[in-house]
Amino acid sequence: MKSTFFSVLRIPRQLRLYFLMIILLSVLCIACGPQKKYAGPYLPDEEISIIKPDDKNFTHVFIRSIDKYELDLSDRESSFAVHPGEHTLIYEAVLDYPYLDKYLFFSQDLTFNAEAGHVYTLHASILPMRNEGFAWITSDKDPDKMIVKKYACCLIPLSTYP
């Protein structure tokens, strides 16, 4: 006769698997949610806004700070929960195209008004032949409409980028 923790408690096998699945799903839901990066009280999901960087090939966008709140390097590719209202993002965009000798880089700030319940995506594009770039923000409610757009000129060529 095997003596294990569960057999001592005489819990049926199906019930043990059910409890294990509930615990694992709870941990996954907590770990995968957007990080609370705002000051103030905790708000339900429908009363906050989410800001996330775009994940395009070759042009990488990193959010460095939101409303002067510096972000850790490990947080730079995540989504961030914020209160509705005006927010200023400081971001950097890097063109990592395999046929260019150097990385093209620009960094600037972008201010926009976030509404509750929206998910905002920060996009960037770099035009290496014109040495220009631009960034824009879209909402999940109307992804074809630009909320705000800002141009960057005189890109900085870098030989390496971390």
Range(s) of the domain holding residue 91: 35-158
Residue 18 belongs to a domain: no
Q: Residue 64 — pLDDT band, cuts 50, 70, 90?
A: confident
pLDDT digits (tens, 9 = 90+) for 148-162: 999 987 788 777 665
pTM of the model: 0.70
Q: Is residue 68, in this structure, part of any structural domain at all?
A: yes
| Model pLDDT for residues 95-114, shown as the tens digit of each residue | 877 666 677 888 899 999 99
The three-state (H, E, C) secondary structure of the chain, written as one string: CCCCHHHHHCCCHHHHHHHHHHHHHHHHHHHHCCEECCCCCCCCHHHCEEEEECECCCEEEEEEEECCEECCHHHCCCCEEECCEEEEEEEEEEECCCCCCCEEEEEEEEEEEECCCCEEEEEEEEECCCCEEEEEEEECCEEEEEEEEEEEECCEEECCCC
Domain tally for the chain? 1
On whether residue 55 sits in a domain, the answer given is: yes
Q: Note whether residue 24 is domain-resident.
A: no
Residue 52 lies in a domain: yes
